Amino acid sequence: MARDDFTQKTKTELSLRAAHFCSNPNCLRLTAGPRSDDLRGLSTGHAAHICAASARGPRFDTNQSVDERKSAANGLWLCRECGDMIDKDVNGFTKETLTAWKLGHETMIAEVRQKGWSESIELLRSGQMAPGLAKEVISLLEDRRTFWAIFDAEFPDRVRMSLDDLRHELTRLRSRCASDSPLDKIIVALGRTVRHFFDTVEQFDLQTLKCDGNDPNWLAFETALKVLRKSVGYQIGKLAASYQITLPGEFAEFLPR
């Protein structure tokens, strides 16, 4: 059966757009370097089709034309191992997943090109770590009842202590991100949201405040907590979607739709 393979020019374009690094954000293996002799280089990379080159291949799209199937837009650069993996585990690596890998990697490489050597290495390191760090951010919030427990189960001073601890943990995670990276911006935004909540409720004595529908201070605290939850919920929803993370159980149910 005929295959709509990439031309050598397209393969070269894909390798250059990826800077010869594997586009899998959990891999980022360098796929070019010197051979053992003094004259030749070595490439271990692979120009992979996002939608297959033939009808029997993984993720084949009948709506694509031959030119679309052979274009650089339908490809991404991977190491040999990752190229083999995405073709053998079709359900685990959808068209949408691979397109996100490609766009995310090429965006990162474009940013890396504008930095010095040390900053470039840090961006690559951070890009590899980002999915794991994103999961840590979500786990931090999931473990805090402040974001999903019913309001009358919340004690204001416990909310304060939990959020204060959260701010310290977010600062710790941020130290592992490249400055001004997408994940760094999300962590900064979360920190600002928490600070805004503290600014709103600083007038109240949270140690003595109790759930009381007739107390205007409690009602003001409850409103501030609702705003906090909604804002954090939107941010976490976007974070989970960006890194294709499934939000667990009760925590997911309380996030805004």
Rg (CA), the chain: 24
Q: Is 243 exposed, middle or buried (0-12, 13-18, 19+ CB in 10 A)?
A: buried
Q: Return the structure tokens found at 83.
A: 């190229």
pLDDT for 80: 93
User: Which among 30, 48, 243, 46 has a CA at the least distance from the CA of 129?
Assistant: 243
pLDDT for 7: 94
pLDDT for 69: 94
pLDDT for 255: 64
Judge whether residue 66 has pLDDT over 80: yes
For the stretch 26-58, pLDDT in tens is: 888 889 888 887 778 888 899 999 999 998 889
H helices present in 24-155, as ranges: 66-70, 80-88, 95-112, 117-142
CB of 251 closer than 8 Å to CB of 149? no
CA distances from 69 to 18, 49, 50, 54, 203 (A): 19, 8, 9, 9, 62
User: Which among 115, 117, 58, 63 has a CA at the least distance from the CA of 84?
Assistant: 58
CB of 231 closer than 8 Å to CB of 193? yes
Task: Look at the domain 130-253 and name its fold.
Answer: de novo design (two linked rop proteins) (1.20.1440)
Find the mean pLDDT for residues 71-78.
Answer: 95
- Read off the amino acid at residue 84: D
For the stretch 130-141, pLDDT in tens is: 777 888 888 888
* pTM recorded for the entire structure: 0.53
Judge whether residue 250 has pLDDT over 80: no
Q: Return the structure tokens found at 223.
A: 């409103």
pLDDT for 67: 94
Spell out the domain ranges in the chain: 8-112, 130-253
Rounded CA-CA distance 106/42 in Å is 22
More confident residue, 120 or 21: 21
